[in-house]
């Protein structure tokens, strides 16, 4: 949940305008590019998320408008460095298997955002690459790579599955905030 908009609403908007991204994946991309590049990554995020669509199409314009709200809200929540940052994921009424698949998509989007953010960073690309290869960020990246392969355990009981899901969501929320904080000096430019 992003506050004003929920996962299904955002996902439906993406489907209507022909985007190949889902809402979780798109939000992961946004969070990572905000961490790596900052608010200047907005246009690249929208170009990736809405790739292949017609910019003059009313559905695409509506979708982009919704995602601009998400971008702004995500930036605000990450930059406030409080616990207000949340991942755009399906709500609890959705099966654990589908929510787990969304977690995998979110992580995939985040990792893609770090890689594409590195290219946007211009002269900061090399220092960003070095920072991502060092701890603690390298450990977070490895964990997220594992999460991209996540699936619900069909033999576990519902409470176990739910507890594991909640734990991974919290890990991703905190890890995203940590990545944002660890890259703050790179977003502000080279040190003098």
Domain ranges of the chain: 7-187
pLDDT given at position 57: 83
- Cα 78 to Cα 84: distance, rounded to the nearest angstrom: 8
pLDDT given at position 84: 83
pLDDT given at position 29: 97
- Cα 7 to Cα 12: distance, rounded to the nearest angstrom: 8
pLDDT given at position 130: 87
Whether domain 7-187 has CATH 1.20.120.740: yes
Instruction: Name residues of the chain where pLDDT drops below 70.
Output: 1-5, 82, 118-124, 152-156, 188-192
Contacts of 10 (CB under 8 A, 6+ apart): 2, 23, 26, 27, 66, 67, 70, 88
Query: Quick one: 56 exposed, middle or buried, by C-beta within 10 A (0-12, 13-18, 19+)?
Result: exposed
């Amino acid at each position: 949940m992003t506050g004003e908009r929920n996962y299904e609403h955002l996902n439906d908007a993406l489907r209507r305008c022909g985007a190949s991204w889902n809402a979780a994946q798109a939000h992961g991309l946004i969070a990572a590019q905000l961490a790596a590049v900052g608010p200047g990554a907005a246009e690249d995020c929208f170009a990736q998320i809405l790739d292949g669509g017609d910019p003059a199409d009313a559905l695409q314009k509506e979708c982009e408008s919704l995602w601009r709200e998400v971008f702004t809200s995500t930036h605000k929540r990450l930059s406030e460095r409080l616990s207000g940052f949340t991942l755009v994921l399906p709500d609890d009424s959705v099966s654990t298997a589908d929510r787990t698949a969304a977690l995998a998509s979110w992580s995939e989007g985040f990792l893609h955002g770090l890689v594409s953010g590195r290219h946007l960073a211009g002269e900061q690309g090399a220092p960003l690459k070095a920072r991502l290869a060092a701890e603690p960020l390298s450990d977070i990246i490895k964990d997220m790579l594992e999460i991209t392969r996540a699936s619900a355990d069909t033999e576990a009981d519902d409470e176990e599955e739910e507890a594991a899901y909640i734990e991974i969501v919290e890990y991703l929320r905190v890890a995203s905030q940590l990545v944002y904080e660890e890259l703050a000096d790179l977003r502000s430019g080279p040190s003098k």
